[in-house]
Chains A and B, each alone.
Chain A
Amino acid sequence: MILAQTTEPFIRWNWVWSHLDMIWGRTVQHLALTGIALGVGFLISIVLSMIALRYRRTYAPITWVTGVLYSIPSLALFVMLIPLTGLSVTTAEIGLVSYTLLIFIRNIVAGIDGVPQEVREAALGMGYTRRRMLLEIELPIALPVVIAGIRIATVTTVGLVTITALIGLGGLGQLILDGLNRLFTTPLIVGSVLSVVLALLLDGVLVLVERALTPWARRKATIG
């Protein structure tokens, strides 16, 4: 690759102003890809977590399989899926969703496991059914840990969406790739800075959501 002209400024603001629509579109696509992955991943994870909590023996195999999925480099996974699902949103989402599973499942199970036994017994003594206990007792108590998981999964997904640019999607990753290919620093910086901002912003929103949903919590969930 050839080094860019040293006279080239880091950012050409007139390029940014004249491409605002495009940048906005990429941001929206980035959010959409992230949202789908998190939503689908969370639903699958809830089901798998419930199975793991009900039938303890399944927990080890579930975390093993999702752990193996998690350790596949995203670049490789996307490329390997192309022969099966083409250059499509499906390809991107299969990868993105599979990476959220381990994070979600570990945190949901750990959160519900962390509910003190006395609390459960008190709930049973008050005549709670299993389902009501789960929804009204266990999930709220587990919430900080679950949200910690959602935060990690969100940051993971926002970051990895940029890599789907290599298979023609990518949201803000498209800008980055375009900048890299042409060694034109403006889109490269706009794309990467916006994706960092997006990750920090969503993370901050989730912190606020946690505060709002757990008014009783004095101490923050510690992760480890």
Chain B
Amino acid sequence: MTFLADVARWFLDPASWQGSGGVPARVLEHLSLSVWPVALAAAIALPLGVTLGHRHRGAFFAISVANVGRALPSFAVLVVGVPVSIKLGLGLSYWPAFAALFLLAIPPMLTNAYTGVREVDPGTVESSRGMGFTEGQVLRKIEIPLALPVIITGIRVSAVQVVATATLAALIGGGGLGRYIIDGLATRDLVQVFAGALLVAVLSVITEGFFSLMERFFVSPGIGRRAEFADISQIPKGF
């Protein structure tokens, strides 16, 4: 119990909250490590998945991307990027982490966008065509709104996974909350390690909650069915 008291003391200590190594600074670093890869992956995977789903094409492609993406250990991908990044003169830590997290974020979003749109009731799609909707209108007004719970679940799974895995960036000299764990390990400061792990967990939960709110906010209330709880255990843990 004294250990937990030490952890509490660490959180209460004003020094833990100040400067470039303080909690707010580390949280911001962690978020900036996570947000951009997810945003770029979304900008690519969502339109692609939605288009393929609309055309009922590319099932093999979508499934293959998902399968290969699932089988890549994120730490290894992160590390492979290091020499490449150095060679290209991009520096040691940010770009390899960016590339690895970007790759990690794609599969859940691509598969969910694809299956979400593809599995919209064909009867509904046909009747909207019968009412004179153009293909673009079918996609924008019928398929995407109906698939939205599934699509947002994909974004949520990606985001949570990326936030948790961004911890590893510290291993290659990057910032973020992983620093507490790595630096704590280097100095045998278990209190700091525990505090770091706790912060990562809290940030993941907040991320999850944020996208649940997004879903509530953006999904039309007429669509009674909400996507089931995003099951993080259906993609490999990489962090």
- Tell me how many residues of A have a C-beta within 8 Å of chain B: 51
Q: Is the interface of B mostly helix, strand, loop or mixed?
A: helix
**8 Å CB contacts to B: which residues of A69-126?**
70-77, 79-80, 83, 99, 102-103, 106-107
What residue in chain A is nearest B201 (Cβ atoms)? A71
**8 Å CB contacts to A: which residues of B84-131?**
84, 86-87, 92, 111, 115
CB pair B178–A75 under 8 Å, yes or no, is yes
Q: Is the interface of A mostly helix, strand, loop or mixed?
A: helix
Given that A83-B190, A152-B236 are contacting pairs, would A4 and B71 also be in contact in the complex, using a CB cutoff of 8 Å?
Answer: no
What residue in chain B is nearest A110 (Cβ atoms)? B231
Residues of A within 8 A of B74 (CB): 159
CB pair A196–B193 under 8 Å, yes or no, is no
Residues of B within 8 A of A191 (CB): 76, 79
Given that A70-B237, A99-B237, A160-B237 are contacting pairs, would A188 and B193 also be in contact in the complex, using a CB cutoff of 8 Å?
Answer: no
Q: Residue B73 contacts which of A67, A158, A189 (CB distance < 8 angstroms)?
A: A158
CB pair A163–B75 under 8 Å, yes or no, is yes
CB pair A73–B181 under 8 Å, yes or no, is yes
Residues of B within 8 A of A195 (CB): 73, 76
Q: Residue A71 contacts which of B79, B83, B193, B204 (CB distance < 8 angstroms)?
A: B204
Residues of A within 8 A of B204 (CB): 71
A38 on interface, CB distance cutoff 8 Å = no
Chain B contacts to A: CB under 8 angstroms? 67-68, 70-77, 79-80, 82-84, 86-87, 92, 111, 115, 164, 167-168, 171-173, 178, 181-182, 184-185, 190, 193-194, 196-197, 200-201, 204, 231-239
Chain A contacts to B: CB under 8 angstroms? 1, 3-4, 6, 10, 67, 70-77, 79-80, 83, 99, 102-103, 106-107, 151-153, 155-156, 158-160, 162-163, 166, 173, 176, 179-180, 185, 188-189, 191-193, 195-196, 199-200, 203, 222-224
